[in-house]
Homo-oligomer: A and B are copies of this chain.
Amino acid sequence: MPITLEDVRASAQRLKGVAVRTPVLQVDGPQRAPARQLFIKCENLQRAGAFKFRGAYNRLAQLTEAERAAGIVAFSSGNHAQGVALAARLLNIAATIVMPADASRMKLEETKAFGADVVLYDRATQSREAIAASLARERGGATLVPPYDDYLVMAGQGTAALELVEAIPDLDALLVPVGGGGLLAGTAVAAKGVRPDLRIYGVEPAGANDWALSWAAAEPVSVDAPETIADGLRTTSPGELTWPIVRALAEGILTVSDGEIRHAMRFLLERVKVVAEPSGAVGVAAALSSKLSVHASKIGIIISGGNVDLDRLCALLSDNENVL
């Protein structure tokens, strides 16, 4: 394996006192059948609202002095933007974040509030590659921070699962959202390192099932135009570096419908009292809709993030089925 449990442990040291050791919540009541207990690791309560801060900080903290002085660049419509912006602010590194002009209002505002230089582009008429080339010319020498295909980023993301298996040492299974695969790869390395018998599953929306198809084909497969409310998981293929790690260590991939995701978001708000964005809720969706065919009485679940505009949140909770 290109990264090991020791890399995740070293990342945890680096993040100590910087990232929040997020709580693991449980639920009482009818949903908590004695036969099946859910342990919910709340990365939506992480700084900048998602696990992304862990990987971003872990990556940026290891730049050389010269690299720090030259600044960093990241592309993101989502949580990676905020995570990188906050990590850069804490480390006094100038950050340029390239975001689509139609990104969520909250994500744009927070990224700017963390002091990043936000460059907007039009998804319809401009290409990210052209923007990247032009930025490279203007700001030569800046380091590009990838959202998942980077070993330091993956090792940083794995610290969430490390905390979870330390807090609940006897889990039977672990459910983790998968988009690019950074969180899942880091989780697999950390959790399997501590608990080789723990079964780890990636969870993705049925409308963006590139990982499930790849798993069935036993090699990376691409999908066209994924469609799901879980905007953070609309990837078209597994990451180049994340795929082999996940394939070697995980048990499999589960898929959930958008309706199951909305039900899980509602459950989290009503019973757990936390806000999950659609992508963040897929693990809970899989557990509530019993997608796990094997016997597992203690199920760990990572909620990856909670960044969702309130108008959209309320629209998703209403009975209107036409929400994307």
- Which residues of A does B touch, CB under 8 Å? 20, 22-23, 25-26, 28-30, 42, 44-45, 47-49, 86, 106, 110, 113-114, 266, 269-270, 272-275, 306, 310, 313-314, 317-318
Contact = CB atoms under 8 A, between A and B. Distances in A.
A114 B29 contact: yes
A86 B28 contact: yes
Best-surrounded residue of A47, A114, A310 (most CB of chain B within 10 A) = A310
A313 B265 CA distance: 14
Contacts of A47: 28
B317 A310 contact: yes
When A and B form their complex, which 8 residue pairs have the shortest distance between CB atoms, in order from nearest? Answer: A273-B306, A314-B314, A23-B23, A273-B275, A30-B113, A44-B273, A29-B113, A28-B47
Given A49-B273, A310-B269, A317-B314, A110 B44 contact: no
Given A29-B114, A275-B275, A314 B306 contact: no
Contacts of A113: 29-30
Contacts of A318: 314
A20 B39 CA distance: 13
Contacts of A317: 310, 314
A265 to B, nearest CB: 10
Contact of A269 (B42, B48, B275): B275
Contacts of A44: 273
Given A44-B273, A273-B306, A314-B318, 4 more contacts: A29-B113, A106-B270, A269-B275, A270-B310
Contacts of A86: 28
26 contacts: A20-B25, A20-B26, A22-B23, A23-B45, A25-B45, A28-B86, A28-B114, A29-B113, A42-B273, A45-B274, A49-B273, A266-B310, A269-B275, A269-B310, A269-B313, A270-B310, A273-B274, A273-B275, A273-B306, A274-B274, A274-B275, A275-B275, A310-B317, A313-B314, A314-B314, A314-B318
